[in-house]
Chains A and B, each alone.
Chain A
Amino acid sequence: MQVRHLSIEQIKKGMYASYDTTFGEPQVQAFAELSGDVSPLHVDGDYGKTTEYGTNVVHGMLVASHFSTMVDVLLPGQTALLSGMNIEFVKPIPVGSIVTMTAKVHSVSKMSSAMALNFTALVDGEIRVVGKATVTVRAI
């Protein structure tokens, strides 16, 4: 994806972005190594089978990191400085799932040069993660 660079003047309430991405074993293993979160719930296939989910599940923060991706790459792109984020993990995501990430501009303040966004992560149309963020938009 190409990194965008929107100014505060270009950002409008209701602007949206979405893409699909797969959280497979390679992604989960890489995140486990990077973050140190090596819980068998995420990385041990035999253990995953014994859980109530029947399989390993993706790290919540790996999924939520894509909310940051959407801000820093798409809405608004390189002009973004993430100021704060709330995340709710609604339902676990099995490893191997194709996830639709969505973002939408909830409000914009030109005076503050800031915007608020809402996020969702969906699997087969079902909401798995929701988030909200406040973003400062730096001058281009």
Chain B
Amino acid sequence: MKYSNLKMGVKEDLHVALVTGATGLVGQNVCLELAKNHWKIGLVVHDNVNAARALLQKVRTAGGEGVVIQGNLLEPAIEVPRIVSECKAAFGPAYFLIHAASLPVTTSSFLEVPADLNRMLTLHVTAYLTLVAALLPDMLRVQSGVFLSILSQALLPPYIPGWHAYSIAKAALAQATNEIAVRYESAGLRSVAVMPGALKSDQGSPQDVDKNILDTLRGRWPLGIEAHKVAEVILDVIQNEKIISGSVVNFDAKMGVQVGRCVLWVKNQPDGSEQKKEKEVEKTQTSSQITQQHSASDSDSVVNMLSVIFGELFELEDQVKIENAEIGVTKGWDSLAHIRLIMEVESALNIQFSSDEVSELTSFSGILQRVRVKLL
């Protein structure tokens, strides 16, 4: 049998990201967060090359590596292959795509053919899908890759008058995010989105926008979330595999207060579903800390998580049977299943058992007790 294109590696090899709209508010903050973690970044910009070069210097100072790639995402068929190949030439394939490119929102009458509808759809959807298709082959080869899009509350009712081109484009992007998630979940790829609201800009708070629009947004949109906070969450979302494919991280501030509430979908819930969890996003707290707090330190959560693992592995539905499960007694709990059980528990709770603990890991209650000690 003949073999070709042999490729082997570890996940740290894969920290190459392509960031579109790199000099925008979200894009530049994402680039700096990635740089602090020593990533390699393709900074994609349309025409703001001087600002991109200045950002590149900051990226390098922060500990990352980067390359400025100029490209017009309103011509995706022509530009995307070149953008992707330039990033590949500099750092190898990109395994993370953060699509932060955007266009200014202009209002128009719904009865007119929206002059910028085509542009909005091209940038937010067509360009995104073209980038996804170009990056897929390398990601599939390593069963690893994350596509992140930026959505908007504008795609939800009540719709802002005159913003329909933007709303329609964001709604289409949300659908694309879902379809990518469904199609490639079994290949180990994740498709996620964030919905950060109207950010605090360099020009001032969102309260400087048109008063009529602001009145529509207040109470429904997060207003004034700082871009660096969004960037921190984006970095957590793309690295934290517990945030499942298809998740939308929704910042939902209260009445314009500059503290967001992060809504995350986290794996492994008692009924096998994914559970929505909410937490106030404090200034110093990241979403990974939030998921760890919810999923690891809460006693009920530990019981729930172990119950899901036992239930799936031994096909048990009754909680009493789960909690009384014991090796050699519970049907299917043989030596092979025991290995799988230990691996699942270690992976789900991010812990490692030692050989000294083996004698205690022979029942649900024994494993629960040992897990609680480790999580203290």
Contact = CB atoms under 8 A, between A and B. Distances in A.
Contacts of A18: 5-8, 141-142
A120 B186 contact: yes
Contact of A15 (B1, B10, B339, B352): B10
Contacts of B188: 104, 118, 120
A16 B140 contact: no
A111 to B, nearest CB: 5
Contacts of B340: 84, 116, 134
14 contacts: A1-B3, A14-B144, A20-B5, A21-B1, A21-B3, A83-B336, A102-B142, A107-B346, A111-B352, A111-B353, A112-B343, A118-B143, A125-B137, A127-B187
Interface string B189-216: 0000000000000000000000000000
Contacts of A39: none
Interface in A113-128: 114-116, 118, 120, 122, 125, 127
Contact of A74 (B8, B338, B342, B353): B8
7 nearest A-B pairs in the assembled complex, by CB-CB distance: A14-B11, A107-B347, A104-B143, A114-B339, A16-B142, A107-B343, A18-B141
A21 B6 CA distance: 10
Interface of A: 1, 12-22, 27, 74-75, 83-84, 100, 102-104, 106-112, 114-116, 118, 120, 122, 125, 127, 130, 134, 136
A23 B143 CA distance: 22
**Most chain A Cβ neighbours within 10 Å, of B336, B339, B344, B352:** B339
Interface of A is mostly: strand
Given A16-B9, A100-B140, A21 B339 contact: no
A23 B8 CA distance: 22
B283 interface: no
Interface in B1-60: 1-11
A104 B142 contact: yes
Interface residues of B, number: 37
Interface of B: 1-11, 136-137, 140-144, 184, 186-188, 336, 338-340, 342-344, 346-347, 352-355, 357-358
B3 A20 contact: yes
A92 B184 CA distance: 18
B147 to A, nearest CB: 14
Given A20-B5, A83-B339, A13 B143 contact: no
A65 B205 CA distance: 60
A125 B11 contact: no
B10 A110 contact: no
A134 to B, nearest CB: 6
Given A19-B5, A120-B143, 9 more contacts: A16-B142, A19-B3, A102-B143, A104-B142, A109-B352, A116-B343, A122-B140, A127-B140, A130-B186
B10 A12 contact: yes
A125 to B, nearest CB: 6
A100 B4 CA distance: 9
A63 to B, nearest CB: 12
Nearest to A117: B143
A93 B138 CA distance: 21
Nearest to A132: B340
Given A122-B140, A134-B339, A107 B5 contact: no
Contacts of B353: 109, 111
Given A16-B144, A19-B5, A112 B339 contact: yes
Contact of B9 (A15, A122, A130): A15
Given A102-B141, A114-B339, A125-B136, A13 B1 contact: no
Contacts of A84: 336, 340
A75 B187 CA distance: 18
B269 to A, nearest CB: 19
Nearest to B354: A111
Contact of A111 (B9, B136, B142, B358): B358
